[in-house]
Chain A
């Protein structure tokens, strides 16, 4: 495990969903975790300090998840994203695909937090390299 905690941002408008995921991930002392209830708030946080990865709910009040991802990536505030969605028929848009998101980066609720953790670790390993 790296010494420097990696910054992870969880964006979900439902507080409990957001908190439960943060709680879960927090158990491992691997990440520096932050949460945001909307895309706008998330961007604000990222401007204060960028993150390595964001876990994004696709359905958000205000700007939606996809828009947030594009905006954050364009501003260079965050490079990797995981989609965390409640709908079943979500599919990656071409814009998201261009940002390097793959099928493995999409999680349908209810999600197995362990799988999310697993994926985060994979991504961060990749980034390491």
Chain B
């Protein structure tokens, strides 16, 4: 800083000049005063001179004048000229210069007049005046001259003094100041801590004090400065950092004034919104908010003004119209008076997060919907064995609401106590390893519902590790129904297997290509006479089942063409060579990838025979309905017949008073009339009519039994009691006793006690058994020769799902040609009037139609007849297997 260095000399120079100028001014001033004083002194000396003249010279002059002594006057006047500065003296008398001396100068003079008064005896007389011209200019000149010298001298003195002072000042002060100046001007020196040292001979003057003070201060200051430097550096660095942070921040920073007008946004904020920083300045914060968030914004504004700075989420509308989701960390600012002064907030772009959250939420919602809507129970168990998840299906299946289940020990909650030990044993291993016997498998388990009911569940169990802890996820399906269905299916298949086995029709599975019999049921054996052992894995041809092999060819052709054959009739050759008429129905099936056919062979030989009986049944049904219609109509005319005969008999009776009266009036002899009637057998005819009418009426009544709807109550009956009752009724039947000697018949009851319950109508069964007893009794008593040791055995047995009653006699039996007809209505072997021919038909109907049972008979002529009745047993609920 040479500039400063040069300037450094200014003080001494200025001092020099100022001293000089001040000295000169003072010199001038003092000279002027001196000159003025000299001048005044000059003037006053003139005054004094004048006064002196007045005193000393004026008398002589006045005398001279008075005397008109001109010469003296002149001498006098000339003597006045010796007085300094008086250049001209004149005496003026009567206005006219009377005498004068000296040079008359016009310029630079001053004139005084002294009155010349002559004292006379008459008093003073003014003779004239003495005018003295004083040369003032010469006074001035003298003064000026005097001053000039004085001034010159003083100036010289001043100059010398100034130079000396300059030199002294320079040596004592300026030089050091320059050093100081140099010291300060060289920033390096004081910054790096050099002490300020002055090159001086004398010590402890003011400069030293200053320098010492400075050096001391400098030391302190330097320290402070250093500290400050460090602080400043730090501050700068910090500021820089902050500036960098603010500008490069990944967070948007937004400053708002009290009206929420933007005063600052950082680049990031602007970027996030798609604006430039400048575009955003001065705009209101709410201009950027997504419209649906404005009301929320008002709330946050209100809370900000209350000084609440909670973090919140805010959605902005971006410049491109898109949404910007941010997490706002606001900070309200307040002035010293506590008035809201604006707000400052940082915004983190959470749009992605929001989107991710939204996706997560959707995904969660989806999963929630899945778990909510699934029909399977889903539950989760935490490492402590407590329920941590419980879906609605779980609520439904297990009966516990979610709130009841969550946090409960899962096993204690739903596992029946008898399994607790096993579960407790497995839990520690699961907790450690996430493994267990049931993990990763689907298996059945028994669970206990809230209501205590035990249900079978299919459990799929998996383990998952969440934060180091093993959790179990179970999906449970209520398979109680499935289990039941499986059981049902099992039972069904067993049932079908049983049906298959028990079916009276022969079932065969035959391989198509070689006609080998694969499966056959029991009926196969009965129908064909071959055992299954002989038949299975053998060709149907080997067994020679078809009487006419070409017919079989026809059957197979039809089967292959149509896939099935229905009721194909053929002659079946049994093992014993007996030919039976049979129908075969077949269908192609694939069995174990082999083309097969399943066939049902039905022996219709017996069926054909029973067909007639079936036709009879049909007859009886129609007869039943016919009977119902005509019974009433027939009964009336029968009634007429019957009563008419009764009236005839009554009115021909000789006992009746009226008859006697009428006969007497007519002159008729009642005795003769009686005789006549008897002789001509009219009485017999009348009785015939009566009996015939009663018989017809009986037939009608029996016919009606077909049509009578079984209104009687069906209930579980004690068949033993019914049989005993029937026997009792039979034995007390007058007709039986009288006509058929029922008492002589040995009745043997063999009634099993352990019988399945069987529901029937007591009176009807009674009627049937009574009827059978009556028939047997009649047959045995009417047999020729009569049956010896007549006996009727009544057996009661439990059959297959039924109860069987057998009524066997040792009577004459029934001829084979008659056997078939015994159940037909109106068929009777009894003499007219003894049987209606309806007893067995009605019995048959009571058993088969009324009770769903079976009734048949076997008979061997000469040995006896057995009637069989089977009544279906009640199927009890409980499985008796």
Contact = CB atoms under 8 A, between A and B. Distances in A.
A17 B646 CA distance: 12
Nearest to A24: B647
Given A24-B650, A27-B658, A110-B638, A87 B643 contact: no
Contacts of B708: 88-89
A20 B635 contact: no
B694 A110 contact: yes
18 contacts: A16-B640, A17-B643, A20-B639, A27-B651, A27-B656, A86-B636, A87-B631, A87-B632, A87-B635, A88-B635, A108-B701, A110-B638, A110-B640, A110-B643, A110-B694, A111-B642, A112-B642, A113-B647
A114 interface: yes
Given A87-B631, A110-B642, A23 B636 contact: no
Contacts of B638: 109-110
Contacts of B694: 110
B290 to A, nearest CB: 86
Given A29-B657, A110-B694, A17 B650 contact: no
A41 interface: no
Q: Which 9 A-B pairs have CB atoms at the shortest separation, nearest pair first?
A: A110-B639, A110-B642, A109-B639, A20-B643, A86-B635, A109-B635, A110-B638, A86-B632, A88-B704
Nearest to A58: B632
B631 A20 contact: no
A34 interface: no
A4 B1 CA distance: 180
A36 interface: no
Nearest to B642: A110
A45 B638 CA distance: 28
Nearest to B702: A88
* Most chain B Cβ neighbours within 10 Å, of A16, A29, A108, A109: A109
A79 interface: no
A88 B700 contact: yes
A111 B632 contact: no
A86 B638 CA distance: 10
A104 B626 CA distance: 29
B815 interface: no
Given A88-B700, A110-B693, A110-B697, A20 B647 contact: yes
Interface in B665-701: 693-694, 697, 700-701
Contacts of A29: 657-658
A51 to B, nearest CB: 21
A66 interface: no
A105 B761 CA distance: 26
Contacts of B701: 88, 108
A112 B646 contact: yes
Interface in B614-667: 631-633, 635-636, 638-644, 646-647, 650-651, 656-658
A57 to B, nearest CB: 9
B635 A113 contact: no
Contacts of A17: 636, 639-640, 643
A23 to B, nearest CB: 6
Contacts, number: 70
Interface string A1-36: 000000000000010110011011001010000000
Interface string A100-129: 000000001111111000000000000000
Nearest to B694: A110
Sort chain A's interface into a size bin. Answer: 20 to 34
A8 B472 CA distance: 97
A86 B697 CA distance: 10
Contact of B640 (A20, A112, A114): A20
Contacts of B700: 88
Contacts of A110: 635, 638-643, 693-694, 697
A72 to B, nearest CB: 23
A86 B639 contact: yes
Nearest to A21: B643
Nearest to B709: A89
Nearest to A14: B636
A16 B636 CA distance: 9
Contacts of B643: 17, 20-21, 24, 110-111, 113
Contacts of B636: 14, 17, 86, 109
Contacts of B697: 109-110
Given A27-B651, A87-B632, A111-B639, A20 B704 contact: no
Contacts of A88: 631, 635, 700-701, 704, 708
* Most chain B Cβ neighbours within 10 Å, of A87, A110, A112, A114: A110
Contacts of B658: 27, 29
A113 B646 CA distance: 7
A63 B638 CA distance: 24
Nearest to A84: B639
A17 B631 CA distance: 16
A20 B708 CA distance: 30
Contacts of A23: 647
B651 to A, nearest CB: 7
A59 B700 CA distance: 18
A54 B374 CA distance: 79
Contacts of A59: 632
Interface in B61-109: none
B709 to A, nearest CB: 9
A29 B661 CA distance: 13
A29 B658 CA distance: 9
A35 B697 CA distance: 25
Contacts of B639: 17, 20, 86, 109-111
A90 to B, nearest CB: 10
A86 B634 CA distance: 8
Contacts of A27: 647, 650-651, 656, 658
A81 B361 CA distance: 91
Interface in B696-719: 697, 700-701, 704, 708
B813 to A, nearest CB: 34
A109 B701 CA distance: 10
A77 B658 CA distance: 31
* Most chain A Cβ neighbours within 10 Å, of B641, B646, B700: B646
Nearest to A16: B640
A20 B693 contact: no
A124 to B, nearest CB: 19
A20 B636 CA distance: 12
Contacts of B644: 20
B634 to A, nearest CB: 8
